[in-house]
Amino acid sequence: MLLAIDVGNTQIKLAVFEQNTLVNKKIIPYSDWKKEVENTLIFFSEIKNIAVASVGNLQKEDFLGFKTGVEVFYITHESKFPFQNLYTTPNTLGIDRMVVAAGAVLQFPNQNRLIIDAGTCVTYDFVDANNNYIGGAISPGIRLRYESLHNYTAKLPLLKPERPDAVSGNSTVQSIHSGVINGITFEIDGFISSILNKNDNFIIILTGGDSEFLAERLKNTIFANPNFLLESLNQTFQYNQQ
């Protein structure tokens, strides 16, 4: 058994895998992460490996010493990946983006792949059919958009995500919802359309905490899987064991 740990910007996800089967999943705050890892290792005593992908403040040393006989695989830029990284600044490419790119290559061979991860940020990653990582984009996620409107203006309220009634909001609240939700869906649809106009034989993967909220609003056909990063983390671990 493997414990996959995705350390994000605002929260941590834990997933237990038996080979390629997701057995258990938790989303936890930073404040409880050690206790939750310890409890998971006790409950699933068959876990022999921990695989970590971190874009947060936790380093490999933070995961050592939990349990005798459990090895920690902390993914870095020096880990093995099933693609060629053509980023001009390869060491600045986020580990989370590299992991989902690896998962896309391993799950969908011989296709062009666009992976959209809708979390704190929305990241776009394009890997071609020859397994070349071409690049992508980064933009603010839903929560960041709501917070920025509130934090950088004098009077706009801080709202929770809500589907707008129409494109044209008839109040300040509805205008904010329209600007944030319609804005991000128009952005994603536009990015997808731009890629599709130049490439065929394509798979589009939508993942991240806001993927289910956004999926039904997008015009383009996508493969929505909120657990794709965790599954890709499991597959990247297996790839490095070969």
Positions marked catalytic: 96
Whether 59 contacts 106, CB under 8 Å: no
Quote the CA–CA distance of 103 and 80 in Å, as a whole number.
12
Angle between helices 142-151 and 183-198 (to 10 degrees): 130
Quote the CA–CA distance of 21 and 4 in Å, as a whole number.
12
Query: Which one, of 136, 140, 138, 139, lies nearest residue 127 by Cα?
Result: 136
Whether 146 contacts 180, CB under 8 Å: yes
In degrees, rounded to 5, the angle at the alpha carbon of residue 49 between the alpha carbons of residues 68 and 118 is 135
